Amino acid sequence: MSNRNFESDLRAQLDSLNKEKLPERDLWAGIEIALAEEAAPNQQAQKRRTNSTAPKVVAMAASFALVAVISWFSLNPSTQQMTQQDLVSALSSQHQMQKNALLVKFQDQPALTENWQKQLAELDEAAEAIKAALKHDENNMALLKMLQNVHQQQIDLIERVHSPKWRQI
C-alpha cells in the first residue's frame, strides 16, 4: 500500500484519538497526603523569589563594600602603613556580616551535607592563620588575596549546601 495512504490513515487515526483518559485507581488520596504539610503555592513562590534574590543582594552589597574599602585605601597611600591592619579588619567584619546574613537566611533549611559546619570551621582557622601572618607581613598582597579567597570559599560553601537545585535530579 502506498506511502500516501499511510500518511492519511495515520492522520485520521491521530485526529480521532481521545486525548483524555481516567486512571483506574483514585490518585487524589496520595496527593492529599503528600501535600498535607506543604505551604500555600503563593507563599512558596514568594519564598523562592526571596531566596533567589537575597544572595544576589548580599553579594552585591559585599562587592560594593569591598570595592569601597580597597578604593579608600588605594586613594590614601599616606595612611597605608598605619591602616593595612584596618583593611584586614574591615574585610573581616564585612565578611562576617555577609556570612551571618546567609546563616540566618538558611537556618530553617536542611543542609545537604552533615560536615559542612566542620568545613566552615576549618576555613575559619585558615582565615585566622592568614590574618596572623598578615600581622607580621602587612604589605603582602598575596596573603590579602588568600584571605579574600578563603572568605569566598566560606560563602560558596554555605550557599552550596543549602541550594535547592542540588536536591533536584
Partner 1 sequence: MNIQGNVVSAQSAFADKSERDLISAVQQGDKKAYQTLYQTYIGQVYGLCYRLTSDKSLAEDASQEVFIQLWRKIGNYKGDSKFSTWLHTVTSNITISYLRKQRGWVKRMFNIEDTEANYYAADQATDLSELERHVSRLPERARIVFVLHAIEGYRHEDIASMMNMAVGSSKAQFHRAKQLLKEWMGYE
Interface residues with partner 1 (CB under 8 A) are 1-3, 5-6, 9-10, 13-14, 16-25, 27-28, 30-32, 34-35, 38-46, 169
Q: Among residues 14 and 142, whose Cβ is nearest to partner 1? A: 14
Q: Among residues 41 and 77, whose Cβ is nearest to partner 1? A: 41
Q: How far is the CB of 37 from partner 1 (least distance, A)?
A: 11
Q: How far is the CB of 33 from partner 1 (least distance, A)?
A: 10
Q: Among residues 45 and 82, whose Cβ is nearest to partner 1? A: 45
Q: Among residues 53 and 79, whose Cβ is nearest to partner 1? A: 53
Q: How far is the CB of 53 from partner 1 (least distance, A)?
A: 15
Q: What is the 3-state secondary structure (H, E, C) of 14-53?
A: HHCCCCCCCCCCCCHHHHHHHCCCCCCHHHHHHHHHHHHH
Q: How far is the CB of 60 from partner 1 (least distance, A)?
A: 24
Q: Among residues 10 and 82, whose Cβ is nearest to partner 1? A: 10
Residue type, 159: E
What does the DSSP assignment read for 103-154?
Answer: HHHTTTSPPS-SSHHHHHHHHHHHHHHHHHHHHHSTT-HHHHHHHHHHHHHH
d(CA 128, CA 92): 10
Q: How far is the CB of 114 from partner 1 (least distance, A)?
A: 24
Angle between helices 141-162 and 80-105 (to 10 degrees): 10
10 Å Cβ neighbour count for 108?
Answer: 6
